[in-house]
Chain A
Amino acid sequence: MEGRTIVITSGKGGVGKTTATASIGAALALEGNRVVVIDMDIGLRNLDVVLGLENRIVFNIVDLAYQRCKVKQAAIRDRRIENFFLIPASQSDNKDVLTTVSVERVSKLLKKEFDFIIIDSPAGIERGFENSIAAADEAIVVCTPDVSSIRDADRVIGLLYARSVTPKIIVNRIVPQMVANGDMLSHEDILDVLSVELVGLVPMDEQVVVSTNTGMPLVMQNTSPAGMAFRRIAKRLNGETDIPVKVPECKTGMWNMISKKFSFKK
């Protein structure tokens, strides 16, 4: 059976594409799939750092695209999670070294060996983005609950539809307390504008910073709400579509519980 190529993109930078790629990839591998994550942000590679694999890079995606190495050489195996691999970006090239044709060829090659190929797209909608979505079967758009992120996500969704890729969406960095107070857009507001299928809601989580800095995959920490959210997203992508999307809720303190009970608050 051929693998699925999923591109994680957003348009805007800094919304959590790389974290989402690392977490979803790791979670899918924990589910028992053979997974490879590819960093397409050529010139500004990050995914290797987030996964704590930067010391082991020998070959990268550009070498693979130019057939200077084999898949086995380019794919770095994660020692903590079984069947989880990374193909890093090149730090010395720029995004123009790859073409859509070469990316499609690499993707075809990888599909034979892996169940999931998760591509971390760079920010923007230029060459790097074009290359990332060239071989994608599915796309996941990451956005945060702010207007600029939604605007960019909307643009990217339009571009994906134009290339007949049906996008799904993850809303990242939700602060339930702010949503409850009306200071942050709720996921309903976002879906109202974007109107695409929702695959998951990820709450704001300080653990993400810790995990990014230590290179420890988020989904391996059972205490992280964001990690748990990504595990649910991975399960949904893996075919368990009946898992309901869990809406992040604010921690209910004593006073909140009382006021909720007597409906002092809306």
Chain B
Amino acid sequence: MGQGETAAVKLKGVGDGFWVTLDPDAPEDDLIAELNRLFKRLRHLTINAKVVIDTGDEKNCEALIEKLGSHLKCNFGIGNVTQPPPKKSVPRERIRQRDASRAWTNYSNNVLMLRGRVRSGQKIEARKHIIITGDVNPGAEIYARGDIYVIGKLLGQVRAGQPDNAAAIVFSLDFRPSQIQIADVLTTGLDKPHENGAEYAFLDQNKNRILVQNYLKTNPFASLPWPEVI
């Protein structure tokens, strides 16, 4: 068989075996003859070798592969014959989707949840996020690497996103902290008049100003497509 056009069988050494790429549309006898020709040259390497028969994108070639495989096993002492492993590029999208849909089943608990009143002089440090069901009195200090949520009055000092998490927020039902810090931006008190209702503080896009907005009016996380683990 000529080597000029696309050969019906190509052989490549892979690790401890061979990778055989063949054209399943070619006549079976031609394929066997070509395999014989190639493997005869490599007879000293074929004993117990692993052979992968790759038929390209063509499906339903199991019978052909099996036939060629048994032929190779009989004549050349090949160890085993397999099909190529499934390509990874095709199902990637599906795997990612599955990960997102189960995101909240595989989480490590990063949240410190407290109930009660944090009094003056008490300092609470959270490894990541913190949720306090109760009030934070003036003079108390909350320090967290992630977000701070106060289900109650917030009158003390809060430091969220320490040292450099600019995406952190501070949330409270009654938002009157004496000092807020998010990442490295610090502000004392609030310029705007206090309004009723839940508010939250976050860093603006330039990451140099802390903004405070009404939580329900802004509804910042409603537009997220999927509930994400933070």
Stretch at the interface among B26-34, B72-80, B85-93, B117-125: B117-125
> Are the C-beta atoms of A195 and B117 separated by less than 8 Å?
yes
**Quick check: is A115 within 8 A (CB to CB) of the other chain?**
no
In the complex, residue of chain A having the shortest beta-carbon distance to the beta carbon of B134 = A195
Tell whether A243 is near chain B: CB-to-CB under 8 Å: no
Please name 5 pairs of A and B residues whose Cβ atoms are closer than 8 Å in the assembled complex, sorted by A.
A151-B138, A154-B138, A155-B120, A158-B119, A195-B117
Q: Among the interface residues B119, B135, B137, which one has the most CB atoms of the partner chain A within 10 A?
A: B119
New A-B pairs, 4, CB < 8 Å, besides A154-B138, A158-B122, A193-B138: A154-B119, A154-B139, A155-B121, A193-B137
By secondary structure, the B interface counts as loop
Which chain B positions have C-beta within 8 A of A193? Answer: 135, 137-138, 155
Asked if A110 lies at the interface with its beta carbon under 8 angstroms from chain B, I say no
Across the A-B interface, how many residue pairs have beta carbons closer than 8 Å? 28
Q: Which residues of B contact A154 (CB under 8 A)?
A: 119-121, 137-139
Interface of B with A (CB < 8 Å)?
A: 117, 119-122, 135, 137-139, 155
C-beta contact mask, A137-171 vs B, less than 8 Å → 1, else 0?
A: 00000000001000110110111010000000000
Report A-chain residues with C-beta under 8 Å of the C-beta of B117.
195
A147 / chain B contacts, CB cutoff of 8 Å = 138
Output the least CB separation between A83 and chain B (Å). Answer: 37
Complex Cα spacing A151 to B139, Å = 7
- Chain A 46-62 near chain B by CB (<8 Å), digits 1 or 0: 00000000000000000
B155's nearest neighbour on chain A, judged by CB, is A193
Partner of A155, one of B135, B139, B155: B139
How far, in whole Å, are A243 and B155 apart by their CA atoms in the complex?
34
Rounded to whole angstroms, the CA-CA distance of A158 and B137 in the bound complex is: 11
> A152 — which chain B residues lie within 8 A by C-beta?
120
What CA separation (Å) do A198 and B138 show in the bound complex?
20
Q: Which residue of A lies closest to B138 (CB)?
A: A151
Per CB-CB distance, the 8 closest pairs between chain A and chain B, nearest first, are A158-B119, A154-B120, A155-B121, A155-B120, A154-B119, A151-B120, A151-B139, A154-B137
* B105 CB to nearest A CB, Å: 38
How near does chain A come to B119, taking the closest CB pair, in angstroms? 4
| CA gap between A122 and B212 in the complex, in Å | 42
Residues from chain A with a CB closer than 8 A to the CB of B122 are 158
B135 proximity list for chain A (CB < 8 A): 193, 195
